[in-house]
Amino acid sequence: MAINPRFCLVPRELTLTAMKILYPSLENASNIYSENMLQGQPGDVITVPEWTDANNWAAVCDPVIAPAIYVGDRFGLMPEIYIAGQELSPAVFMNDEHRLKVRHFLAVWVNDFRPLHKSNVA
């Protein structure tokens, strides 16, 4: 798609390494001769604490340019609200409460795999 990744997802062990790659000012070498033209913005390195393998990493394109993950609502943005009790329920008279149920169905899915990349290094 000719779009460079925007976010780098890494486990805790690779956070500093990824920051040194994206932010050349963090490099502690004494002779840096070139500037990183794909220099990242603060927040481009995202640490995923659930990842336990120290070699795996992922890259994600900017969701404004190439959206990959979609969130959909079944009934729109308004949730489904209805009364769960009866008019003559003891809770209405003793506690002055009306029991309501709220249902909000959300679906999250990957609609396009191309802006996402995961590298499982053996």
Instruction: Give the pLDDT of the chain (122 residues) as one tens digit per residue.
Output: 678 888 899 999 988 888 877 776 666 655 555 555 555 566 688 999 999 888 889 999 988 899 998 888 877 778 888 777 666 667 666 777 777 788 888 888 999 899 999 988 87
Tokens of 46: 């995202």
Cβ proximity of 20 and 26 under 8 Å: yes
Q: What residue segments make up the domains of the chain, in order of their start? A: 7-119
Query: What does pTM read for this prediction?
Result: 0.62
